[in-house]
Amino acid sequence: MKRTMPKNSLLKTLVSLLTHISKKRKIQLSLTIVLMMFVAVLEMVSLGLVIPFLSILTSPDVFYEKIALLGNNELLKFIKENVNSLSITILFCIVTVVAGLSRVILLWMGTKVSFSTGADINKDVFQKTISQPYLVHVNRNTSELINSIFGNSKNVILTISAVLTLISSIFIMTAILITLLMINSIMTISMFILFSFIYAGFIFFTRKKQLGNSELMHNGSASLIKILQESLGGVRDIILDGTQKFHVENFASIDAHLRRAQASTIFINGFPKHVIESIGILGITGFGYFITIQNGNVSAAVPIIGGFAFGAQKILPLAQQIYTSWSSLLSNYASLNNLLSLLQQKNAFTENDKKNKLHFSHELKVQDIFFKYKKSSKWILNGITLTIKKGSVTGLMGVSGGGKSTFLDVMMGLLEPNEGFISIDGKHISFSEMSSWAFNISHVPQTIYLSDASIAMNISLKNNPQEIDQENLLEAVKKAQLEDFIKTLPNGLDTFVGERGIMLSGGQRQRIGIARALYKKSDVLILDEATSALDSETEREIMKTVNELSDQITIIMVAHRLSSLEICDDIYKIKDGKLEKLKAKDLAD
């Protein structure tokens, strides 16, 4: 299984993630922290009331004697007149209820902020990922990308929640420790040092294991997604070849490693709790015995023992929460670093590219284009020059691997040529401007991408029906010769096409692709082997549709068969990275 250890420290990763949080979320986080402080004060007050509460209930005379030792007669008089078992009980109950409600509100705010921030970051990651140059996508592993965007987004939420829990627990624990120091400093300091030492030991000895589990879980999730994609995508061949066992064993092996890492992480997170609880109970028991012997009076010692027991009941879960939160941050370490690298991507395309759309009025010229994917590889395009007039129909043909698709990608601005340039109406276009040029182009490939949505939404690529330009939609449907087919559907343009357009025939999918291109109102329509998978009759119908469009837009057609290029004004052949114009004699042959 692939392992790539994170480069950033945990603290640096968390700080970097915070820089990507919106101003609104930062305000919400700040308000959450303020509420944490308020809850910490309430916890301090509620713990501080335990001793007077128990003292008045068990031995009020001893309580009044201790107040008298302060030498403030007015305070003693006020307490005797106003503080009794009923009043202190009511006050203690009120503070306890308010503290409980505050912690519920804190939980609600923390959860809401964690999930909202996670959603914001996830959207930002997807937006930056989808806006990368085409060459970046070509070189990426889609399984790892899906795992980073979908799977690791959950880890962002868990991380933010863990950080908030960590901060909250530290605030409240600090407040409780301050109160316990006032009750008995020696016992408080002793217990704090002991528990800190134990938890520090747990963290020290399990850190390496947690980081290893983090890598295993991150890489394991990506590998599982890869196996699922490949297996489900090729399920027809798997059934025909009877290779189910091979794929199941691969899946089971990786899944077993992943589950072992998850189980190990859960165990590491949970087992200190039971050790600390036992030590805490022993500590309180020993402290109670010591206080009783020291005071020589059980009833006098009850308030102090009760105060420490109450404090321990609160502080032990908080200590476990701090440890668990830290452990959770370590277990999500690899995923967070991976997600951070995606957040730090720079957008290659922006909305301004649409506003700055380049106009094509006369001619498109490709001049001396050279291109190869790697420095060590051979030239895919080797000095290609081509001029395409506005409103013309140009045909490209050639064998597979000859460079047709690469040439189109360069011409559409998806790939940057190593040498040469592209000009529009005589103006040299730099690669940084090519994204604005791309909005003039509609591309209809052999396999049309269709989502499980309505025909109208697939043509317009709008999620909200109210955003669809109905007049433009109907015009595109008419020009793509989809009207007769749409009339046969019970829901017309609102009919859902099924996953990947499974409810449609090949010809219908291609026409939807053409309608989508026309809805975009592009200057250039590229048909990239759009009819190669269709039967002859359907291909002739699609070509008839294209021929009727040829006087309105510039068309570039790529095909294997010359018969598919009969409507073209000029036909070129790409072979070994070079371009050759075919003559009438060549076409006849």
Residues 318 and 173 sit within 8 Å (Cβ to Cβ): yes
- In this prediction, residue 22 carries a pLDDT of 78
CA-closest candidate to residue 410, choices 379, 381, 440: 381
CA-closest candidate to residue 405, choices 530, 508, 513: 530
DSSP codes, 271-297: HHHHHHHHHHHHHHHHHHHHHHHHHS-
Tell me the pLDDT of the chain (589 aa) as tens digits: 444 444 557 777 777 777 777 788 888 888 888 888 888 888 888 777 776 666 666 666 555 555 555 555 665 566 666 666 677 777 778 888 888 888 888 888 888 888 888 778 878 878 777 777 777 777 776 766 776 666 666 777 777 888 888 888 888 888 888 887 877 777 778 778 888 888 888 888 877 887 787 777 777 777 777 777 777 767 766 776 677 787 788 888 888 888 888 788 778 877 777 777 777 777 767 766 676 666 655 555 666 666 667 777 777 788 888 888 887 777 777 777 777 777 777 766 655 555 566 777 888 888 888 888 877 678 888 888 888 888 888 888 877 777 888 888 888 888 888 888 888 888 888 777 777 777 778 888 777 777 777 888 888 888 777 888 888 888 888 877 788 888 888 888 888 776 555 667 777 787 888 888 878 877 888 888 766 656 676 667 767 777 777 667 888 888 777 777 777 888 888 888 888 887 655 555 5
Phi, psi of 177 (to 5 degrees): -65, -40
Q: Which amino acid is at 81?
A: E
* Alpha carbons 426 and 422: distance in angstroms, whole number: 9
Residues in the chain: 589
Tell if the pTM clears 0.85, that is, is over it: no
Residues 217 and 262 sit within 8 Å (Cβ to Cβ): yes
* Alpha carbons 335 and 214: distance in angstroms, whole number: 7
Is residue 110 helix, strand or coil? Answer: helix
How many C-beta atoms surround the C-beta of residue 121 within 10 A? 25
* Alpha carbons 25 and 19: distance in angstroms, whole number: 11
- In this prediction, residue 64 carries a pLDDT of 59
- In this prediction, residue 291 carries a pLDDT of 67
